[in-house]
Chain A
Amino acid sequence: MARYLSRPMPSTSNTDTVVSMGAAFGIKEVKELSSVMEESTGIPYGHMPVSFLKRRLAYIFRKHNIHNSDTFKQMLEAEDYREKIAYDFPVDTTEMFRDPGFWRYLRSQLKKLVINGSINVWFPEASSGEEVFSFLIIANELGIRDKFNIICQHYSAERLDEIKRGVLFNKNIQVNSSNYVRIEGSGVFEDYYALVDNVFILKESLLKNVQTVQGYFLNDPAPEDIGIIIFRNKMLYYDKEVSGICMKKLWDSLLPGGIIAIGAKEQIPEISGDKPECLNAKEKIFKKHGFEINWNNE
């Protein structure tokens, strides 16, 4: 249980030579390692920024006490070790209600939704729960929580388990609380979680209709009938080619009238055919033309 309190910080070293562990990552080695990781997991590590790979590999090597690349490559052959990498490699979402302006805008749009039945909301690369929990809280405060089926996908079973259990990282709790004040929520943030065995856990009632799907979204079939996709700050860690592939897959899975949100400083890759309608340029929210999702203002 204590691991949630003490997840080590990623490497603070950004050097070619990671002195603390006696290993050196040249560009060639990083490319080789990322290629092996990609081959053994199906996740496009080879299409991630080199400087990012260096930092994350340094972190993984240090955390797992690995001293050379050959050992790492051997360890990757074991499934349970690949799961450890799947857990440790991705970047956590920084905080709940990151970019409060985004959440205020999304809330204003959700208010306008006309919902017959329910709407599927997909978090395709949910490395931690902050975005999901933020959505659940604003939907709850609008009184429409039951109208959404939440689909969280990730390739790490352990990360999905944390989301399913509503784990909030203790170190972010103050920031989460401050952000909640900035979105001008109608409740009291502290009422949404409890301290259980020294870990902050989201209220169980918020977590109903949250489905977790283990797998990598680019390799698996997309869930059907998606009305809303939250994919913020995920393409930062892919090159342009894979970012384009991500966007095509997500866009194709959206119902007409559905929306997708990307990070405020990400650029939407070109989508052939249907041109996205920009709902909010600052918060990078885009809408697919059509009316299967009815936003009431059309």
Chain B
Amino acid sequence: MNDNKRYKAVIIGGSAGSFSVVSKILSKLDPDFPVPVIICLHRLKHVRSGLVEGLNMKSKIKVVEPNDKERITGKRAYLAPSNYHLFIEYDNTIHLSTEETLNHSRPSIDYTFSSAAYTYRDKVLGIILTGANKDGASGLKDIHDKNGTTIIQDPDSCDINTMTKAALKLFEPDHVMTPEKIAEYLNQLAV
């Protein structure tokens, strides 16, 4: 499959144990990685700082917590802010929202994945990582259903594999990979 320059965004979702996995992936990315990376992690809502700074310590591309209505551009990673849902709007901007929690989560990974599926359709790559609840599984299926590409972290490599197993129950992903392989796969997109 020639994925070069095909994608408009890479969306990564994760919960318990996913910080170190995301950090590892970002640390191995090509510094010129051209596709925007949008990250939705479950996080404590009253802790508004620290996560983005932590990711930036190792990331090869800049990680930001976007403001509402911010335009999405390449060579950049966008981390969903605490206590806001993150959606991707049809004009390729970030839409943040304080709507009700979904799956007891705000940000909800399902929301971010689903909005990416309906905005980018087959031009999005969705990745679900380790986590302790099912949030994200249904949204990743939306990406799958819209012919986007899906990657599920190998459950054997997860700290907690509830999230990845929930996704595997819903559909057959394009790839099941370890974090190392995910980073390698992404870098192929930068070639």
Contact = CB atoms under 8 A, between A and B. Distances in A.
Main secondary structure of the interface of A (DSSP, over half): loop
Main secondary structure of the interface of B (DSSP, over half): loop
A118 interface: no
A99 B46 CA distance: 7
A14 B111 contact: yes
A265 B69 CA distance: 9
A23 to B, nearest CB: 16
Chain B interface size band reads 20 to 34
B188 to A, nearest CB: 30
Given A51-B95, A265-B96, A236 B142 contact: no
A233 B48 CA distance: 16
A49 B84 contact: no
B98 interface: yes
A15 B46 contact: no
B48 A99 contact: yes
Given A50-B90, A51-B89, A236-B98, A266 B67 contact: yes
A235 interface: yes
Q: Which residue, A12, A93, A178, has most C-beta atoms of chain B within 10 A?
A: A12
Contact of A91 (B66, B97, B114, B118): B97
Contacts of B81: 264-265
Interface string A1-15: 000000001101011
A237 B87 CA distance: 12
B98 A235 contact: no
A97 to B, nearest CB: 10
12 contacts: A14-B118, A16-B118, A27-B90, A50-B90, A51-B90, A52-B99, A94-B98, A182-B46, A240-B69, A263-B68, A265-B96, A267-B68
Interface of A: 9-10, 12, 14-16, 27, 49-52, 55, 91-94, 98-101, 178-179, 182, 233, 235-237, 239-240, 243, 263-267
Interface of B: 46, 48, 65-70, 81, 83-84, 87-90, 95-100, 102, 106, 110-111, 114-115, 118-119, 139, 142
